[in-house]
Amino acid sequence: MTMSGARPGVLLAAMAAMAAVLVTGCGTERSGESAGAAAPSRTVATPSRPANFPCPGESRTPSPTRTAGASSDHDGPPADHDAENHGFRVPFELYGQHRCDGLAAVKRVKGALEPLRERGDFAPENVKAALTGLGYPAGKVSSYEYGPGSAGFLIEADESLCVEGRVSGDSTEANAFGGYPDHSGCEIPSGGH
């Protein structure tokens, strides 16, 4: 093959560049793609929180709620392995209608326990009686001495709604949450992984 006006070094360089393009292009076609088509860009879907809406008696834009046991340490990546290893103890937050149901349950529970607080009656059996008086089954309500002058309680309102708190001379506290990741029920998990 003779070419007029071409220098042999330039011709060799052009042929080497063409061969390099052909070699590097081999094996890049993916299954299901046509040759020459650009690979589709992949977008990684990040989980999003379900949308909340104002519950009865709330302002127009509900503020983010903190549930029992939740802290800002669990909003991002764990700062240490201890926090990561105890993630199974962080309860689920409530969203949407479940959040409204939780807020309503908290209001009812506080209303039932406030008379006990005003009387200074912190006997666990009286706390349980007040809560079962709201219609919660006795088997789904536990109450216990929380310390001197206070009682704690835990209610499994339904399969995805738990209410916990305490009543003392200072205040009546209640928080609603949606259970735990590693098991059903409202009890704090005892084992780790």
Residue spans of the domains in the chain: they are: 93-177
For 92-127, what is each residue's pLDDT tens digit?
A: 899 999 999 999 999 999 999 999 999 999 999 999
Radius of gyration of the chain measured on its C-alpha atoms: 31
Query: Whole-model pTM?
Result: 0.62
Q: Which amino acid is at 162?
A: C
Side-by-side strand order, sheet with 161-168: 141-147, 150-158, 161-168, 172-177
For 147-191, what is each residue's pLDDT tens digit?
A: 889 999 999 999 889 999 999 999 999 999 998 887 788 988 876
For 24-39, what is each residue's pLDDT tens digit?
A: 454 444 444 444 455 4
Beta bridge partners of 161: 158
User: What does DSSP say about strands 172-177 and 150-158: parallel, antiparallel, or unpaired?
Assistant: unpaired
Torsion of Cα atoms, 179 then 105 then 141 then 71, to 10°: 40
| CA 118 remoteness from chain centre | 36
